[in-house]
Amino acid sequence: MLEHFALKLVAGIAIIWLWMPRKDVTDGFFRIQMLVALGLCVLVALTVQPVSPVVTTPGSYRSQTVSDSANSTGRSQRTTDLIRIAQVIAAVIAYLGHIVWKLGRRVPGTIAIYAVAGLCLISLLFSSFGNGFSVDALHWLLSDLVSCAVLGATLTGMLLGHWYLTTPTMSISPLSWFVRCLLLAAIGRLLLISLALFRFGFGSHDLVHVLWLSVRVVGGVLVPFVTALMVFRILRFRNTQSATGVLFAALILVFMGEISAALLARDLKIPY
């Protein structure tokens, strides 16, 4: 569970790097970002473990909520090794990227960004299709990608807001871009949660699961959506410090939403 959360986090950061307007952001920001990616890649490489396919038993509450194909999701030892190798390579590239961004070499730094993002996406593919291609595996991948967008936009936007303390003359257009990205990610998260409820429903009557789903909806949809609207209005006054504070508070709730989703996935095997 921890390694999957860390994988989605580092993949979200790396994917956001590809989309964001990098030319308007100074080199020092990406130097720090590479160190963040380095730490997360090492964490994934150290913690990733095989996941045995889940087999339902008659009379269990899971048999009423999950299809047979969803129950077969898992991660083989070979898939685990491939994810670990990809993350180790990504960590090495992130370290080299830190050096080239520190030297102000934007072209090799951009290449490092593409390489880290590509390796993280490959790791997500391995994680989702570890037992072969299926509709449920595709559903898991789409859910993970949307979660990556929410996590990446919130965390990287918050760190970018802090960067304005050292470079106050930097254009606020990149931060405004993160607001729009976060808004779209929240809408995408709402669609994927709705799809999961439509396909699998929510047959568990356990109060703990109901609370987890509530936290998931609040942290994955409501908080990013409201945060995007609030930060958009704050940036009209060029108040980057207040915007950063709002993003920091939202990040905690977004993390809670993703952890709740991971707990639901562990118990119900449904990608809420």
Query: DSSP string spanning 138-180?
Result: HHHHHHHHHHHHHHHHHHHHHHHHHHTTT-TTS-SHHHHHHHH
Task: Please name which of 160, 209, 158, 143 lies closest in space to residue 4, comparing C-alpha atoms.
Answer: 143
Cα–Cα distance, 57 to 110 (Å, whole number): 50
Report the CATH number at residue 151.
Answer: 1.20.1630
pLDDT of residue 71: 41
Position 36 scores a pLDDT of 96
Cβ pair 219, 254 in contact under 8 A: yes
Q: What was the pLDDT predicted at 183? A: 95
**pLDDT at position 16, please?**
94
Alpha-carbon distance values, 128 to 63, 94, 134, 170 (Å): 21, 24, 10, 39
Position 142 scores a pLDDT of 95
Q: Which pairs with CB-CB distance under 8 Å and at least 24 residues apart come from 262-265?
A: 262/1, 262/4, 262/5, 263/1, 263/212, 264/209, 264/212, 264/213, 264/216, 265/1
pLDDT at 53: 57
pLDDT of residue 58: 33
Which one, of 201, 195, 30, lies nearest residue 116 by Cα?
Answer: 30
Total Cβ atoms within 10 A of residue 241: 12
Q: What is the pLDDT of residue 195?
A: 95
- Partners of 75 in the beta sheet? 51
Evaluate if pTM is beyond 0.85: yes
Domain of 182? 2-268
pLDDT of residue 96: 97
Number of domains in the chain: 1
The CA–CA distances, whole Å, from 50 to 44, 45, 78, 96 equal 13, 12, 8, 29
Cα dihedral value 15, 17, 19, 22, nearest 10: -170
Q: Measured between alpha carbons, how far is 171 from 178 in angstroms, rounded to an integer?
A: 13
Task: Note down pLDDT in tens along the chain; length 272 residues.
Answer: 788 999 999 999 999 999 999 999 999 999 999 999 999 999 999 999 877 654 433 334 444 444 443 444 567 888 899 999 999 999 999 999 999 999 999 999 999 999 999 999 999 999 888 777 889 999 999 999 999 999 999 999 999 999 998 898 899 999 999 999 999 999 999 999 999 999 998 877 789 999 999 999 999 999 999 999 999 999 999 899 999 999 999 999 999 999 999 999 988 989 99
Q: How far apart are CA 102 and CA 110, in angstroms?
A: 13
Dihedral sign, Cα of residue 255, residue 258, residue 262, residue 268 = positive
Q: Are 270 and 62 in contact (CB under 8 A)?
A: no
Residue type, 255: F
Number of alpha carbons in the 13 Å side-chain half-sphere of residue 67: 14
